[in-house]
Amino acid sequence: MFFEGGRFAKGTHTTPTVAPPARGVPVIRPNWALVRTVSGIGILAVLLWWLGTGPFLDGLRLIDGWALAAALGIGALTTLCCAWRWSLIAGGLGVRLPLGTAVAACYRAVFLNSTLPGGVLGDVHRAVRHGRDTGDVGRGIRAVVWERTAGQVVQAVLAVAVLLALPSPVRPYLPAATALVVAGVLGAVLLARVLPRRGPSRWARALRTTEADVRDGLIAHGKWVGVLVASTVVVAGHLATFLVAARTAGVTAPLSQLVPLTFLALLAMSVPANVAGFGPREGVAAWAFGAAGLTASQGISTAMVYGALVLVASLPGAAVLLIRRVRVPAVVPAVVPRRSAVHG
């Protein structure tokens, strides 16, 4: 028996019998959105079982006008910086995005992130909508992905620096963990350098696109300076809001003790397994505050107040969502083919 022309043959050509695909057998695919939501609910349920409803409600009763005003002001600054960062990166990728339109879209995204499960649906919405309005959904999505990635990277670097400098529950383990992460990043970079970039394969196209995006969207024409400044201000704004929440919840610990705990809670917010932002943040805050010599109840109260302040700060996004008058101009010439992305 031999193989010839796509058929098996033995003396004469005969087509092999191929079993038809089984019918009626469902293909089970994990629903990751449901898994993330259930995970967030599970974390909150464990905390409620452990500490009761007191820590969840006590801090909310203490929210006053000063805290709300501070949240709105800080939220306006951080939203403006996020929009500026997004506009810079989108422009580098060849997609026009006016700053005013970006601010409105970011407000809408923050509101959706704060009210819907997962904590990322608002960013998904602004990415797809911007891509459709400009005629290139791929670039629209990539602009938001790089904007969020840049912010997360800057936040992680600042968090590591603070956690190394100030006492925290994770300080003894941080050097080893940092070394592992750096080694992993260097390994990924070296692997990307040796992989082939030419040809029509999926990996080659992905590498070419990634290199072009990083170069044009994050580095070229000094954009990295603006991205770095905007990201740093955003992290400082989140930090300030969390500290306002801690003071509102009645936590009197010194800033040198609160700042590292705040960064741990902010890092936990990057985990997309929450319910309207609540879940991992409260769990990590409860653990971190307890491990640092405070109480788990103080950690949960602070995290709950922070979530409420963020929701209040995002309310302008609800107005944008309802009015639906602010739209990205559908200008076809706004999408400019990049030489590096087209010719590889």
pLDDT in tens, 133-143: 888 898 999 99
Residue 53 has pLDDT above 80, yes or no: no
Report the pLDDT value the prediction gives residue 338, as an integer from 0 to 100.
Answer: 53
| Contact partners, residue 195, CB within 8 Å, separation at least 6 | 203, 204, 207
C-alpha 140: how far from chain center: 16
The pTM for the full model equals: 0.79
Identify the residue with better confidence: 240 or 325.
240
**pLDDT band at residue 12, thresholds of 50, 70 and 90?**
very low
d(CA 309, CA 307): 5
Report the pLDDT value the prediction gives residue 54, as an integer from 0 to 100.
Answer: 65
Residue 1 has pLDDT above 50, yes or no: no
Residue 322 has pLDDT above 90, yes or no: no
Report the pLDDT value the prediction gives residue 208, as an integer from 0 to 100.
Answer: 80
d(CA 83, CA 91): 12
CA-nearest of 117, 73, 66, 124 to 316 is 73
Percentage of residues in the chain with pLDDT exceeding 90?
36
**pLDDT band at residue 148, thresholds of 50, 70 and 90?**
very high
Report the pLDDT value the prediction gives residue 134, as an integer from 0 to 100.
Answer: 85
| Contact partners, residue 140, CB within 8 Å, separation at least 6 | 90, 95, 127, 128, 129, 130, 131, 132, 133, 134
Identify the residue with better confidence: 330 or 163.
163
**pLDDT band at residue 284, thresholds of 50, 70 and 90?**
confident
Residue 16 has pLDDT above 80, yes or no: no
- Segment of 25-39, 115-129, 307-321 carrying the highest mean pLDDT: 307-321
For the chain, the average pLDDT equals 80
Report the pLDDT value the prediction gives residue 2, as an integer from 0 to 100.
Answer: 43
**pLDDT band at residue 72, thresholds of 50, 70 and 90?**
very high
Percentage of residues in the chain with pLDDT exceeding 70?
73
d(CA 325, CA 319): 10
pLDDT in tens, 86-134: 999 999 898 889 999 999 999 999 999 888 876 788 899 899 998 898 8
**pLDDT band at residue 149, thresholds of 50, 70 and 90?**
very high
d(CA 31, CA 39): 12
Residue 20 has pLDDT above 60, yes or no: no
Residue 59 has pLDDT above 90, yes or no: no
pLDDT in tens, 230-239: 999 999 999 9
Identify the residue with better confidence: 118 or 61.
61
pLDDT in tens, 181-205: 889 888 887 877 776 666 676 777 7
pLDDT in tens, 209-229: 888 888 888 888 888 999 999
Identify the residue with better confidence: 339 or 256.
256
The CA-atom distances, in angstroms, between 81 and each of 58, 97, 141, 277 are 32, 14, 19, 21
